[in-house]
Amino acid sequence: QVLLVESGGGLVQAGGSLKLSCAASGRSVSSYAMGWFRQAPGKEREFVAAISWFGGETFYVDSVKGRFTVSRDNAKDTAYLEMNMLEPEDTAIYYCAAGGASWSGASADIQMAYQYWGQGTQVTVSS
């Protein structure tokens, strides 16, 4: 089993930055793809970014390209989401997730590709 815990959320002004962390415990997630999703009030959960298990491929929703960077440190079983130039529309609860054998680049943005999910961390961007 894998337990994922997000941290690093908070309140930031528009144009600011935050770096989220997703720490895994239990079995290692070194062979899992890691994804980030977010959900704003009244909206469906949305794919944000993902990184392959080997770290060589990254994926982003169009709205965050050029502003967010997903990375991982397998030695620490931790994934990161660095968020820059934050906008009020980025306000949401951010969730990390781990995807095993069912994951591929083609399914990086599909929730069903991920088997383990964290509890989320709130990111609020004020204008």
Nearest CA to 68 among 52, 53, 47? 47
**Bridge pairing between strands 121-126 and 10-13:** parallel
Output the CA angle 89-127-39, nearest 5 degrees. Answer: 25
Q: Write the CB contacts of 82 (distance below 8 Å, at least 6 apart in sequence).
A: 17, 18, 19, 20, 68, 69, 70, 71
pLDDT digits (tens, 9 = 90+) for 38-56: 999 999 999 999 999 988 8
Does residue 77 register a pLDDT over 90? yes
pLDDT of residue 55: 84
Tell me what the mean pLDDT of segment 89-111 comes to: 95
Nearest CA to 30 among 8, 5, 2, 10? 2
pLDDT of residue 45: 97
pLDDT of residue 104: 93
pLDDT digits (tens, 9 = 90+) for 102-124: 899 999 999 999 999 999 999 99
pLDDT of residue 90: 98
